């Protein structure tokens, strides 16, 4: 895991998404599509460096947060702008589709 993607906890979540654009990957270790998405997130975090912050939240460890944001399927990416969720992407998409969705949202 590179230092381009933050690992969030219930203690760090609010401050991490409070300012600017933040892409949060709600994931679980047992989720195969989540593991497929991990290297794609690394690539996109590098591409969007300076435009958005990328972070991951383990839904098994922080279930109340995932429930707060209605995360029912994984992976789910939620894009926050200044603390407010503005977009959600459910499922593992090819990198080109994810890149296009992020470019529209950021």
DSSP 61: T
Hey, which residues are catalytic here?
A: 31, 34
The answer for residues whose C-beta is within 8 angstroms of residue 8's C-beta and 6 or more apart is 16, 24, 55, 56, 57, 62
């Amino acid at each position: 895991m590179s230092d381009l993607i933050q690992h969030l906890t219930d203690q760090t979540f609010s401050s991490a998404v409070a300012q600017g654009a933040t892409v949060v990957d709600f994931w679980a270790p047992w989720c195969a599509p989540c593991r497929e998405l991990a290297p794609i997130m690394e690539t996109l975090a590098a591409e969007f460096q300076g435009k958005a912050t990328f972070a991951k939240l383990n839904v098994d460890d922080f279930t109340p947060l995932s429930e707060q944001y209605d995360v029912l399927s994984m992976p789910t990416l939620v894009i926050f702008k200044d603390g407010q969720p503005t977009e959600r992407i459910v499922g593992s998409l090819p990198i080109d589709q994810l890149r296009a969705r992020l470019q529209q949202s950021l």
